A and B are shown apart, each in its own frame.
Chain A
Amino acid sequence: MSERQSVLRLDHVTMQFGGVVAVDDLSMEVGEGEIVALIGPNGAGKTTAFNAITGVYEPTNGQVSFLGAPVVRNHPQGKMKKQYKGSDAALYANEPVLRPTPDKLTALGMARTFQNIRLWKTQTVFDNVLIAKHMLKTSSFLSATLHANRAEEADQRAEVAALLEIARALATKPKLLMLDEPAAGMNPQETAELTAFIGRIRTEFGMTILLIEHHMDLVMDISDRIYVIDFGKLIAHGTPEVIQNDPRVIDAYLGVEEDA
């Protein structure tokens, strides 16, 4: 782990909603080129952790760092002068992010999919991917308007929705790809295909991947390391072999999960 460069790092991140502590003092790290899984029982706080990382929520406590720089709300260096523009995304990498809204984090290179599929339903398959590339657009508002060219219609079938979400996330040219239950609702055959597909994304794009998944075949097959959380707390961390044999994990999660 230590020889790799850190892509994502969480230090004691806590996410609280009123009395509910959805993520409790979670620390974890994802290194460059790794596939890391975040697993745990239903309601353990996995999706909430994703939301806290991607800026949908602001962590109640703790620190998220991306590409070695902290993602902070009010950085002492003061207001960022440069207005956000897609083509300037690279410039951002060296600047502290003032308000980590999701779009700014995406501009930095964080891309995700959603557990409850959030494709733009009125848009075609092609447009869904194209819109994700909008951020990278260098042309101005006016010139983009004058060069409009609409894509042809395409069918949007449910089976490809998860893959399309991945394609859409990849279209933002991320450095970290975060997948929230990509295999949900897939049969073993489709899951095996997806496993191979995620592996290819890693080898072909050198992508770093953080994955939430309940299908244990997929998780054990492709993860380098696994973090297990229960009730928001980290209960185990290690390679697939270590996790599979950890009595606390078996007790809290794996033992119950007969159908996965």
Chain B
Amino acid sequence: MNTLDKSSNKIDYKGEGFKTKNLFNVIYVEEAAFKYPITKEVLDKYCNLQVITIRHYKDVFNRTNQHFQIQKQYQSLILAVKDKPFLYEGPQVCQNFGYPNFYYTSFLLNCIFDCGYCYLQGMYNSANIVAFVNVEDFKNSIEQESLKKPVFLAVSYDTDLIGFYNIIPYIDYFYGFFKMHPALTVEIRTKSGNQSFYKTHTALDNIVIAFTLSPQEIIEKYEKNTPPLKTRIKAIKTALDQGFKVRICLDPVFINPVADHLYEPFYEYVFSEINANKILDLSFGFFRMSKEFFKRIKKQSEYSDLFLDEYCLNENVISYPKEYQNNIMTRHYQILTNYMKKEKIFSL
């Protein structure tokens, strides 16, 4: 179970793949952020951490000479006030699950986990985490959009909100709001094993918890600081038991001679543990990244060996050649459709 020792700033994710003594190096706080309740809560919780006042989060976050990988080991938290826009159109490389009005929003920039394949390394100059404290402004903006039409809103892109739950429980702050807006379908994507939210909140019809799963070997190699597969499965079971809608995301799937052997036993294991009939749907996607992010990651001095593989460029997205994808996808679908109807499997 996740335990947070509030007085000592030590977080202990025993058995959940993440363990560190000093969670943050320092906390930067925007001058304008001090007046918000979240800021006060965070500063009370981490009262022994150095606080540095800043004018604007971009002064720290956008510096051009940050070493992403070293900073990742000494992450700082930046508390900031978000300015417009609060909603972004869903990106092309992400699945919209059939919803025409697909948006995403980011309460957090960056993540406590450290996946070698993560596009955030190419998207931001910094590995520090920005947490926006003006939740009411987010709500107003989301409300305006969702009153006009039904909206599919991804709230845990560019981060892992449930992984961050013990630091700032954003989903608690938004739970009532989501409850009041049934036309809003919210997806919370996570690799976390933290079960607190599912245990303390009643499931809502318009909240989907999307668990990203990978074979344990892939987790160990490329998903640093994330919980092991077993722990994620446990969290899925709890979420299902509590009545939450659960999506499984098999994303990113890798194609290489080693990875190819891992998926069949992995699927068998997952569906021997989880009743596939209870799963809302499944999303499937191969490793892919925008050309710009890929290039920026390769410019850094340290990056995962994944970026040394041969890929193809298609419409500005780097991924495996289409014919590989089709072959491998057919094989994966053959196995997956043993457990789940094809209509419930979404792929890009």
The reply to whether chain A is a binding partner of chain B is: no
